[in-house]
C-alpha cells in the first residue's frame, strides 16, 4: 500500500466533491427557497454525524487490519464480513430518525448506504484497490 498514492487519490476525490457541493449549493440558493436550502443543509449535517458517530470501528483500524492481512496474503472472508456488518449494526440508530420530519426520514437509506460505502472504501484502500472507489 502506497500512502502517497492513496493520499493523492483521496485529495483529488475530496477536492472534486467539495467543488461539486459548492456548485450545487450556489445553484440551489439561486433557484429555490431558503426553506429547501435549509432542509438540504440538515441532511448533510446528518451525513457528517452518521459518518463520525456510526462508525463503531474507526476507518483507520479497518484499513490497517485489512492491509496487514493483505500483506501477509491471509485476507479472511470472515474478517471482511465483520467489517461489512458495521452499517447493519448502525441501522437501529438510524431508525431513530423516524422521529424527525418526513424529508429527514427519507434520508435513512442514503445514510445507511453512505456508512456502507465508507466501510467498503476503507477495506479497498487496505487492499490497495482505491482506484475502484474513485471511478
Series of mean pLDDT values for 10-residue runs along the chain (135 residues): 66 73 79 80 81 74 79 78 82 86 85 84 73 51
Grid coordinates in use for 48? Answer: 457528517
Number of alpha carbons in the 13 Å side-chain half-sphere of residue 27: 6
Q: Which helix (H) or strand (E) holds 73?
A: none
Strands (E), 78-124: none
pLDDT at 8: 67
Q: Which residues have CB under 8 Å from 123's CB, separation 6+?
A: 62, 63, 66, 80, 83, 84
How far apart, in whole angstroms, are the C-alpha atoms of residue 43 and residue 45?
5
112: left (phi over 0), alpha (psi -120 to 50) or beta: alpha
How far apart, in whole angstroms, are the C-alpha atoms of residue 53 and residue 1?
27
Q: Which residue ranges make up each domain of the chain? A: 38-134
Closest to 53 (Cα-Cα) out of 115, 11, 109, 96: 115
Grid coordinates in use for 90? Answer: 448502525
**Interior angle at CA 103, CA 98 and CA 108, nearest 5:** 50
Q: Note the pTM of the prediction, 2 decimals.
A: 0.64
pLDDT at 96: 86
pLDDT at 98: 87
pLDDT at 91: 83
Amino acid at each position: 500500500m502506497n500512502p502517497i498514492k492513496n493520499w493523492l487519490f483521496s485529495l483529488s476525490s475530496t477536492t472534486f466533491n467539495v467543488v461539486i457541493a459548492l456548485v450545487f449549493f450556489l445553484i440551489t440558493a439561486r433557484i429555490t427557497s431558503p426553506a429547501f436550502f435549509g432542509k438540504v443543509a440538515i441532511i448533510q449535517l446528518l451525513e457528517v454525524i452518521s459518518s463520525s458517530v456510526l462508525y463503531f470501528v474507526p476507518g483507520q483500524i479497518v484499513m490497517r487490519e485489512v492491509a496487514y492481512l493483505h500483506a501477509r496474503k491471509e485476507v479472511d472472508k470472515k474478517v471482511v464480513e465483520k467489517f461489512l456488518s458495521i452499517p447493519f449494526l448502525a441501522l437501529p440508530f438510524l431508525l431513530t430518525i423516524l422521529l424527525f420530519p418526513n424529508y429527514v426520514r427519507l434520508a435513512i437509506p442514503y445514510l445507511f448506504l453512505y456508512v456502507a460505502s465508507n466501510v467498503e472504501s476503507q477495506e479497498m484502500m487496505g487492499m490497495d484497490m482505491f482506484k475502484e472507489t474513485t471511478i
